[in-house]
Structure formats: C-alpha cells, structure tokens
C-alpha cells in the first residue's frame, strides 16, 4: 500500500516512531520498513501541511500490518484449529474486521478478546459475514470490545466518520485514493458514481483545485456520512446526490474524470459513465476479476466502449489488492480517444 513516510536514521528510529505515535501521525496499519542505514516510518498526514520533523518525507509501498503475533498464543482455541486463525485483518478507525473459518466460529469471542489484548489501539472486534444486500454492506457482528460499529477512520490526514454496519468502506484502497487525487488537474469536473462516505472526493476537494465535484450513492446512510465528512474535513465544492447513478447522472455536467468503484458490477454502468465523459477524459474503473483473465477483461472493456460509441485506450492497469488466491481487485484507467 502506497503511503507517505518519514526517512529516519536507524539510530533515531524508535524516538521518532514514538513521537509520531504521540502526535497521532503514525500509520499503525502499515509495517515499518528499513534499510542498512534508514528506517521508513509510514505516516498519515495532510500533504499540504506536512509536519516539521527535520527528516525527509517521501512515498513508498508498505506491507499491511498482520495481527500481532501474540494474539495466537492468547486465543483460547483447540490446538487443531490454531493454524486456521487469521493472519491479518482490516482496520477501520479503532475497529477490527475479521473473517473466521467455520471451525473457529464457536470460539469467536475468545479470538476477539485475544486480538484486543494484543492490539491496544483497537476497541472493537467484529466478525465479517460477507457483503450483502442492495447497498453491498458488510454483515457485521460484534464479538469483543465496545458495543458499537461507528468510528472515525484516519487516512492521509482525512477524518472519515462512518458506521461500518450500514455503509461499505475499504481501508485497503487508501493508496489508490491517494493516486487518483494526485492525478487531478486544476479546473477538472469530477464525478464519483458510487461515492460511499466520500473518501475519493473529499481528498480531491482538500488537495486539488477541481472546478466541480459531484458524488452519487444509492445508500441513504452513505449520503448522511458523506455530508458529515464534508463538514468534518472542512472542504467545499462537493455536491452529493442520493439515488441510482443511472437515474441521477443525467442532470449533471459531463466530467473530465469519473470514478467507478463498484467492483462486482461496474461494467453494468460502463455505458452510462462513458456517456458522461468529456472527450479526452479518464474513467477509473474498479473490477474484481480472476488474475488469469486480466487480458481477456481488458479486451472486453475496450470492445464494450467501442460498442457504446466511446472508444478508449487503457492507461494504468494494476491490481489494487488481492481478493482471493486466484483473483484481485484491479483498476483500469480508461482514457477517451474521442
């Protein structure tokens, strides 16, 4: 995962790490890296207001943090199931989201309590029962800690409030959101067709001088939190609309950049997105696909665009993160050739 980081001499690594943690700048969801001479400490910070640390700040690709090793020893489960204990989890704010094999389900409370003991920054552990329903939200149940599903997640200096049981949010897209925001040029019109609580658009509004930013989501709870997050981060220039993107979009201006993050069904909306794209504009299309089918999907996308009368070429094409042992979440940057 791409993140800003502080480059510190090894002799000062622990001192600076503690300072960053005390100032709530340390990204605890990413693993600190090192070379023979330096420590690379990932930070969450406003790029336009970087802290004065007297050390260089750069960007690197970091590994996401695995569960604290001690949790396995603390978890009270039969020895024959120890190997099934999850090795990693999603962290949203101070909430942990895990998936458990069927054999571990009867021991979920013990596992949750062990995670809390091993990770002092976490206050709630939840069990992910899968993404369900019209709004594609997680089926969440609390197995340890405080009885709540609301939290404030911090990402590159943003503060994003949400209820993880009523809106969908993936912390694993933080580097991708940073990448897209960095690509935005002055006076662009931005359209996010599936905006959720607003992480893409709010980062763009804070860091770039877009002409207009328009957010759509079909989930009423997502729009409620989007409004809160606009105020929480004190950004302007973000308009939001409740409804199906195919119905709402017709009243909006054509966009220079469109974000289509609905990985299971984004191709169903491709024609709508292309109709709203300015000549020479870019669509960031997110799609879950089998790794071995990547090239076939690329051809399918370009053929679909051609059939809609909006030819495109594919610029960046990369895996954002793994989805299963054989598939991944991929982003395709579709550039209009009209």
Which residue range forms the structural domain that includes residue 310?
163-336
CATH classification at residue 49: 3.30.70.2580
* pLDDT value, residue 32: 87
**β-strand 158-163 against 150-155: which pairing, if any?**
antiparallel
Q: Which of 61, 82, 106 is the last residue of a domain?
A: 61
> For residues 337 and 134, which has the higher predicted lDDT (pLDDT)?
337
**Number of folded domains that form the chain:** 3
Asked whether residue 68 carries a pLDDT value surpassing 60, the answer given is: no
Instruction: Report which of residues 48 and 182 the model is more confident about.
Output: 182
Does the pLDDT value for residue 319 go beyond 70?
A: yes
**Model confidence over 258-269: pLDDT tens digits?**
999 999 999 999
pLDDT at 271: 96
Tokens in use for 328?
């991944």
Least confident stretch, 26-40, 64-78, 172-186, 199-213:
64-78
Amino acid 16: pLDDT: 86
Note whether residue 101 is domain-resident: yes
Coil, strand or helix at 299: helix
Mean pLDDT computed over every residue of the chain: 91
Write the DSSP symbol of residue 65: P
Residues 83 and 8 reside in one and the same domain:
no
If asked whether residues 43 and 84 sit together in one domain, one would say: no
Say how far apart CA 2 and CA 332 lie, in whole Å: 18
Task: DSSP for 185-205, please give it.
Answer: -TT-EEEETT-TT-HHHHHHH
Residues 135 and 179 grouped into a single domain: no
Residue 100 domain-assigned (yes or no)? yes
Within 13 A of 274's CA, how many CA atoms are on the CB side?
A: 25
CB 123 within 8 A of CB 95: yes
Confidence at 192, pLDDT banded by 50, 70, 90: very high
Q: Is the pLDDT of residue 21 over 90?
A: no
Quick one: 81 and 190 in the same domain?
A: no
Q: Residue 112 sits in a domain of what CATH number?
A: 3.30.300.110
Q: Give residue-wise pLDDT tens across range 287-309.
A: 999 999 999 999 999 999 999 99
- Look at residue 155 and tell me if it is in a domain: no
- Same-domain status, 126 and 209: no
Mark whether 328 and 184 lie in a shared domain. Answer: yes
Q: What is the pLDDT of residues 24-67, one digit of tens each?
A: 788 877 888 877 788 889 988 765 555 667 788 888 888 776 55
Last residue within a domain, chosen from 148, 172, 189: 148
One domain, residues 200 and 119:
no
What is the pLDDT averaged over residues 226-255?
95
Within a domain: 153: no
> Which residue carries 């999850």 as its tokens?
86
CATH number of the domain that 279 lies in? 3.40.50.150
Angle value at C-alpha 289, between 170 and 175, nearest 5 degrees: 35
Do 241 and 137 share a structural domain?
Answer: no
What does the block give as tokens for 195?
Answer: 């905006």
pLDDT of the residue at 50 = 58
Residues 81 and 218 in one domain: no
Model pLDDT, residue 108? 96
Domain assignment present for 158: no
pLDDT of amino acid 149: 97
pLDDT at 113 > cutoff 70: yes
Do residues 181 and 301 both lie within one domain? Answer: yes
Q: Are residues 42 and 95 in the same domain?
A: no
Could you tell me if 136 and 286 are in contact, meaning their C-beta atoms sit under 8 angstroms apart? no
Domain check: are 198 and 222 in the same one? yes
pLDDT confidence tier of residue 96, bands split at 50, 70 and 90: very high
What is the strand order of the sheet 277-290 is part of?
238-242, 212-217, 189-192, 255-261, 277-290, 327-336, 312-324
Question: pLDDT at position 284, please?
Answer: 98
pLDDT at position 69: 54
pLDDT, greater one: 4 or 126: 126
């Amino acid at each position: 995962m791409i993140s800003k980081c502080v480059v510190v001499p090894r002799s000062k690594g622990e001192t600076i790490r503690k300072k960053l943690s005390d100032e709530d700048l340390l990204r605890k969801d990413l693993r600190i890296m090192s070379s023979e001479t330096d420590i690379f400490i990932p930070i969450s910070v406003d790029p336009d207001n970087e802290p004065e640390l007297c050390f260089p700040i750069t960007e690197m690709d970091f590994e996401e943090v695995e569960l604290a090793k001690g949790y396995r020893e603390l978890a009270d489960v039969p020895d024959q199931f120890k190997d099934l204990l999850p090795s990693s989890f999603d962290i949203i704010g101070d909430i942990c989201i895990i998936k458990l094999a069927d054999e571990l389900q009867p021991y979920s409370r013990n596992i949750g309590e062990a995670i809390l003991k091993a990770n002092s920054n976490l206050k709630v552990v939840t069990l992910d029962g899968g993404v369900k329903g019209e709004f594609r939200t997680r089926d969440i149940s609390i197995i340890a800690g405080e009885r709540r599903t609301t939290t404030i997640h911090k990402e590159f200096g943003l503060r994003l409030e949400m209820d993880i049981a009523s809106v969908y949010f993936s912390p694993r897209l933080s580097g991708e959101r940073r990448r897209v925001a960095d690509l935005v040029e002055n006076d662009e019109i931005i359209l996010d067709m599936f905006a959720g609580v607003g992480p893409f658009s709010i980062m763009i509004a804070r860091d770039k001088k877009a002409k207009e930013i328009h957010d759509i989501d079909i989930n009423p709870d997502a729009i409620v939190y989007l409004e809160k997050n606009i105020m929480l981060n004190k950004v302007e220039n973000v308009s939001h609309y409740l409804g199906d993107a195919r119905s709402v979009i017709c009243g909006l201006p054509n966009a220079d950049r469109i974000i289509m993050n609905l990985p299971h069904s984004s191709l169903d909306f491709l024609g709508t997105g292309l109709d709203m794209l300015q000549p020479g504009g870019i669509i960031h299309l997110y799609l879950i696909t089998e790794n071995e089918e990547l090239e076939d999907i690329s051809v399918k996308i370009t053929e679909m665009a051609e059939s809609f009368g909006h030819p495109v070429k594919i610029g960046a094409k990369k895996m954002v993160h793994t989805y299963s042992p054989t598939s991944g979440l991929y982003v395709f940057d579709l550039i209009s050739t009209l």
